[in-house]
Amino acid sequence: MAESFVITVEPLGRQVVCRDDQPILDACLRAGVWLPHSCTHGTCATCKVDRVDGDVDHGEASSFALMDFEREEKMLTCCARPRSDVTLEADIDIDEDIEMFPVEDYVATLVSKDAIAKDTVRLVLELDRDMSFNAGQYLKFTVPAGDSGDAVDRTWSIASPPTQPRTLEFHVRLVPGGRGTDGWVFKDLGVGDQFPVSGPYGRFVLHTGQDNHTIMVAGGTGLAPIKAMLRHGLENEMYEGEMTLYQGGRSREWLYDVDYFRSLAEEYDQFTYRPCLSEETAEEVAAAGDDPAAYGFGMVTDVIAADHASLSGCKGYLCGPPLMVEAALKTLMSKRLFPRDIYREEFFNEGDKAAGVNSPLIKR
């Protein structure tokens, strides 16, 4: 039977009981003690905290995110499991205006699975009960054990707003050789299937108390949390400022929900939509009978740079593959945005973890 230990979280002074087979982050989030985190699989280092006292097993922490020389004094709470009572000290810079909800377990039923772009599907799930979350957060799915191995957890972002607390939308991109996508979502997962999920996780959320112009940059399925934020901000009237979406894709076959965002842009004066094509030219778009004026051409970062002399006073929301997020971060900073004004979520996967890809602002 698993042994349990007491985790003391400073500077909050809160105490949480954690099993020896449970990540400390998991115990804290379930107890309603919010700690910073993003990938939840030992890659991004967002959850790195000081270990003031006690022993832990560092588990699957990547040696890039938690270096050998740090392991005596620090830990990644998403991977560390207690081996004694532990006291940790975290830098908890949570926005007072945002209510964070405890993580709970749910049973999900797949309602629909539709191809929406090249190698991309939209999943709609029905939970067994309502879930409270913030626009931009994500769920952990348990990918069932099968031919390709034991059960594993994978994280996908909720693309629908919190005002739909039980029927949730997701966008999932195929990763060749990936256990969760190639081995499950794009293979065996069918309508009517039931499986466990937990959530909500993450700190990439719409900051509704602000009215700055938001520049939102989405690469691939990085659109999912941003769509949730846009719908919450516009349709639920939770954001007063301007909102501009830059959606990047190689060609039109990689973009999705284009008509939906165009209709949003027609309906809401505060919203501007800029779909960008990095590998399809204006001539090719015209030859296919589409209007080149409706697109930006080049890398999404080039289009942003050409559109704005300065982004001073704006807020950035960036989401997608780590390299895209890093490039967009540099572009926004070159346009006079400070890192503290740029919220971001990198879609790290197991390959990134093995290769040591990590955040450009990784916490040391």
Ligand X SMILES: Cc1cc2nc3c(=O)[nH]c(=O)nc-3n(C[C@H](O)[C@H](O)[C@H](O)COP(=O)(O)OP(=O)(O)OC[C@H]3O[C@@H](n4cnc5c(N)ncnc54)[C@H](O)[C@@H]3O)c2cc1C
Nearer to ligand FES, 24 or 303 (CB): 24
Nearer to ligand X, 221 or 331 (CB): 221
Q: What 3 state SS string does 258-306 have?
A: HHHHHHHHHHCCCEEEEEEECCCCHHHHHHCCCCHHHCEECCHHHHHHH
Q: Kindly give the pairing relationship between strand 138-143 and strand 152-157.
A: antiparallel
Query: Which one of 46, 157, 221, 244 is in contact with ligand FES (CB under 6 A)?
Result: 46
How many residues interact with ligand FES (rule CB under 6 A)?
Answer: 13
Q: Is residue 134 a contact residue for ligand X (CB under 6 A)?
A: no
Phi and psi, residue 21, nearest 5°: -105, 15
Residue among 176, 168, 165, 182 at smallest CA distance from 123? 168
Stretch that binds ligand FES, among 45-53, 100-108, 168-176, 282-290 (CB under 6 A): 45-53
State the binding partner of 214 from ligand FES, ligand X, none, CB within 5 to 8 A by kind: none
Q: Coil, helix or strand for 154?
A: strand
Please list every residue from 60 through 99 that binds ligand FES, using CB under 6 A: 65, 76, 78
Residue 334 CB partners (closer than 8 Å, separation 6+): 305
State the binding partner of 177 from ligand FES, ligand X, none, CB within 5 to 8 A by kind: ligand X
Q: Is residue 75 a contact residue for ligand X (CB under 6 A)?
A: no
Dist CA 47 CA 58 (whole Å): 13
Is there a contact between 268 and 298 (Cβ–Cβ < 8 Å)? no
Which residue type is seen at 315? K
Residue among 310, 243, 307, 238 at smallest CA distance from 276? 307
Query: Which one of 331, 348, 357, 359 is in contact with ligand X (CB under 6 A)?
Result: 348
Nearer to ligand FES, 288 or 354 (CB): 354
State the binding partner of 350 from ligand X, ligand FES, none, CB within 5 to 8 A by kind: ligand X
Please list every residue from 159 through 218 that binds ligand X, using CB under 6 A: 170-173, 175-182, 202
Nearer to ligand FES, 62 or 244 (CB): 62
Dist CA 244 CA 169 (whole Å): 22
Q: Is residue 45 a contact residue for ligand X (CB under 6 A)?
A: no
Quick one: tokens of 80? 């560390």
- Tell me 149's DSSP state: B
Q: Which residues bind ligand X (CB under 6 A)?
A: 38-39, 138, 154-157, 170-173, 175-182, 202, 221, 224, 345, 347-351, 354
